[in-house]
Amino acid sequence: MILIMEKALELHKLRKTFVMATVIESKGSVPGKTGAKLIYTEDHQLFGTVGGGLVEAEVLKEAEKVLETTESKTLEYNLTKSEKGIGMNCGGSVKVFLEIFKPQYRLLLCGGGHIGYEIAKFASLLKLETILLEERKHMATEERFPYVLEWVVKDNYKEALKEVEIDKYTLVVIVTKGSTTDEMVLEEVIHSTAPYIGMMGSLRKKLEVMSSMEKKGYSKELLNKIYCPIGLDIKGTTPEEIALSVVAELVTIKNGGTGKPLRELF
């Protein structure tokens, strides 16, 4: 069991999604006793066992479903050849709990200027781990950003982005020093699985950047993934208000919300 828990910790650090199956109750003759565990990962790796045989085969089928729905569940099996059984002669019964483990959402913040600074502060209040990317060393310091998990400073954002693996639990916010670097970052992240890619800018800037990207061969369908201008409509004007609107949009995407006033929903 210790080895299984060590593997779970390793997968967590690698930001892998996996299902842990645990035998929580066993009665009579069963292949897997109470406490037996296995791990089944999103890339179909298997570690440990809940006893093998038909029970484990059924558990793995259900684990695939849990990876799709991301909802934990409890399974019950009668290990007999009766109508309610699964075709085994053991004669016992078993309960197995399938628990889904997913990476925590994190923020990839590209740019440490005034808006980026305030976004990072709000993200820290929400316990949203932030990785800050910058080209300017004096803008991305531990003294200036004490609440950031990681600082990546390179000569350009293209090099900085090589240090980060963007997954489907990474929220990308682009607030660099200008349109040129914003577009550079956008080109590097647009094909990623990030559920949110947002770029700071006015409507005019959006039209200019999107037109440039289309000329480079990016499809309108792909460009429609981009949130620009970023943030919810709260008419924010100060860096703090703009950051609040951006982080509110991040939370909306992360939690599957609507962003509408609650009074319109109830």
**pLDDT of 34-85, one tens digit each?**
899 999 999 999 999 988 788 888 899 999 999 999 999 999 887 766 556 5
Domain boundary among 70, 101, 132: 101
Terminal-to-terminal C-alpha distance of the chain: 47
Shared domain for 115 and 25, answered yes or no, is no
Split into its structural domains, the chain has a count of 2
Helix (H, G, I), strand (E, B) or coil at 70: coil
Q: What's the rounded mean pLDDT across residues 96-118?
A: 95
Shared domain for 148 and 251, answered yes or no, is yes
Tokens of 230: 């970023």
Give exposure, 216-254, as e/b (b: 16+ Cβ within 10 Å). Answer: eebeeeebeebbbbbbbeeebeebeebbbbbbbbbbebb
CATH number of residue 125's parent domain: 3.40.50.720
Shared domain for 79 and 146, answered yes or no, is no
User: What pLDDT, on the 0 to 100 scale, is given for residue 16?
Assistant: 95
**Inside any domain, residue 192:** yes
- The CA distance from 160 to 164, in Å, is 8
* pLDDT(1) > 70: no
Place of tokens 């003759």: 29
pLDDT tens digit string along 232-246? 999 999 999 999 999
Range of the domain at 37: 16-101
**Inside any domain, residue 5:** no
More confident residue, 27 or 252: 252
Shared domain for 158 and 256, answered yes or no, is yes
Q: What's the rounded mean pLDDT across residues 203-223?
A: 94
Shared domain for 124 and 251, answered yes or no, is yes
User: What pLDDT, on the 0 to 100 scale, is given for residue 52?
Assistant: 78
User: What pLDDT, on the 0 to 100 scale, is given for residue 93?
Assistant: 80
pLDDT tens digit string along 112-136? 999 999 999 999 999 999 999 999 9
Give the CA radius of gyration of the chain: 24
Contact between residue 14 and residue 44 where contact means Cβ atoms under 8 Å apart: no
pLDDT tens digit string along 154-191? 999 999 999 999 999 999 999 999 999 999 999 999 99
- The CA distance from 56 to 40, in Å, is 11
User: What are the backbone angles phi and psi of residue 114, rounded to the nearest 5°?
Assistant: -60, -45
